[in-house]
Amino acid sequence: SSSLGEKLASLEKTLSGKVFGQDAAINGIAYTLRRSEAGLGDTQKPYASFIFAGPRGVGKRTLAAALSEVAYNGSLLTIAGSELEGEAAEAKLLGAPSGFKDAEKGGRLTEFVRLHPASAVLVRGADERGDTALGIFGEILANGCIRDGKGKLVGLPDKFVSSYSYNGYRGRKKR
């Protein structure tokens, strides 16, 4: 098993073999991850965060999955946009407060993070799902941690968090 530093040394080559036509994104990701691995980032916050935007079929999800495979041996939590909707979204992700139904289960995000210290989180369409989702992931990126439904602090310093969106893509103008 190679160390993360060894994997990052050849990250561009590895990812380019799995994701085609995204060289600029791959180079930027590799640079960011190597900088974090060298200790030049905030060690209390996620290793890196990325937002991949573009039309369907260009490799946004494939790139996140390939990156988690290389850096974290495939330890990837994918959160669908539908999980971020409605009043129960926060309880689904962080866990229900004590005394509520299913409080002992914990949240999908917080339990995954606890069980997989070095892992990746991919959020599909958070920008389209309202303030709750943006608030949760904004807090994670700003503070490097979040409180679960019971108030216990859950840190995410050895993670990378990525999201992808179809927003922000303008498409090519026809001539």
Q: Rounded distance, CA 97 to CA 18, Å?
A: 41
pLDDT (mean) for 44-54: 79
What is the edge-to-edge ordering of all strands in the sheet holding 76-79?
A: 48-53, 159-165, 119-124, 76-79
Which residues does 39 contact at the CB level (< 8 Å), separation at least 6? none
Beta carbons of 107 and 150 less than 8 angstroms apart: no
- The mean pLDDT of 62-81, rounded to a whole number, is 87
- Please report, for residues 10, 91, 96, 134, the alpha-carbon distance to residue 107 in angstroms, rounded to integers and kept in the order given: 35, 6, 7, 17
Interval 127-167: pLDDT, tens: 666 677 778 888 887 888 889 988 999 888 777 777 777 66
**Each residue of 127-148: b (16+ CB within 10 Å) or e?**
bebeebbbebbeebeeebbbeb
* Whole-angstrom distance, CA of residue 145 vs CA of residue 147: 7
Q: What is the pLDDT of residue 128?
A: 67
Q: Encode pLDDT of 100-123 as tens digits.
A: 877 778 899 999 988 988 888 888
Instruction: Please tell me the pTM assigned to this model.
Output: 0.79
Cα angle for residues 129, 70, 124 (degrees, 5° grid): 10
Find out whether 123 and 162 touch, Cβ atoms under 8 Å. yes
pLDDT band at 27 (very low <50, low <70, confident <90, very high): very high
